Structure 1
């Protein structure tokens, strides 16, 4: 039987599947080799260090999440449905959600830096137009909801047997109403 040629893509895909099913802490050379069905040697030839491989996995996670959220949003209620999509993601893919939320973000020294890095650059304009508020208030509302959704999504992804999605959505909606009132009040001043 001829030897199987192991490629970097196979290594990264195996590492991604391990992370998706068991968490990033299980992405180890031996586990990757077992998943592919090879010795550890080919893994070491592609992975000079595990940090580089983990960054490749994080790239795949980010891509998956972008596609997931895009497929789960309601264009008629974009802002709310995006938040709900992240909560649904936390329920369906808790390991990927935690990897996405908890990976290190370099060069972030303020919440504004985080917002600029993580948010769609057109989001504040869209929110401002939809809710008839200024761009700065829309940006603050969006940032508040990002922070809140990340927090409640993280709680949701680490609890067992699990909090109901209805309870999470109700809490998310209550937070939205409070943040929206604050934005409208600020907008009127």
Structure 2
């Protein structure tokens, strides 16, 4: 059998498409190979096994979400609001991917500081400093609290809850005001 020339990127893109459309449970060497238009041989030669493919797919999916966030960075009144809206939209429109990234053991976060470093977007903390007239430390604490709060709403959405955009915006605004008061005291 001749050697197949299928790039690592093509395999990861095929696996990502499967996760987005059908969820992680649909991933197998066979389904990825079919989607990539190859046999399973390139998958095993490039990744060793499915565990390694999924590990690298997690990082590939995170890069996809970073690009998604950049596409939506002007959807809100400021970078902070855009960041929260983007996370909620991802939960609504990309449920399978959201589950794979944030509702599975793949994230491997061991503490809130690690969560912050993993998901905080450049420029948002500075925006919070300006909005709340906060020190960098207080803004970081507020951003982390909003990450946790917004992720809770996003998880409910990803699991099938139906909230209007207005309800979500009201909750996010109320939480922001409460967290500003908490970090200022």
* TM band (smaller chain): 0.7 to 0.9
Partner of 1:25: 25
User: How big is each residue's C-alpha offset from its partner over 1:64-91, in whole Å with a ceiling of 9 and x where there is no partner?
Assistant: 2112112212375221221111111211
User: How big is each residue's C-alpha offset from its partner over 1:79-137, in whole Å with a ceiling of 9 and x where there is no partner?
Assistant: 1221111111211212222222235345x543223223332465434322332122222
* Separation (CA, whole Å) in 2 of partners of 1:5 and 1:48: 16
* Separation (CA, whole Å) in 2 of partners of 1:72 and 1:8: 28
* Separation (CA, whole Å) in 1 of partners of 2:65 and 2:31: 24
Bigger Cα Rg: 1
Instruction: Identify which range, 168-177 or 87-96, moves more after superposition.
Output: 168-177
Q: Does the C-alpha gap of structure 1 residues 41 and 104 become closer, same or farther in structure 2, counting only changes over 3 Å?
A: closer
* Separation (CA, whole Å) in 2 of partners of 1:81 and 1:36: 34
Residue 34 (structure 1) shift: 2.3
Partner of 2:95: 94
In structure 1, runs of 5+ residues without a counterpart are none
User: How big is each residue's C-alpha offset from its partner over 1:148-177, in whole Å with a ceiling of 9 and x where there is no partner?
Assistant: 1111111101206x3333333332222222
* Separation (CA, whole Å) in 2 of partners of 1:166 and 1:122: 25
Partner of 2:128: 127
In structure 2, runs of 5+ residues without a counterpart are none
Residue 7 (structure 1) shift: 3.1
Instruction: Identify which range, 66-75 or 83-92, moves more after superposition.
Output: 66-75
Give the alignment's Cα RMSD to 1 decimal.
2.5
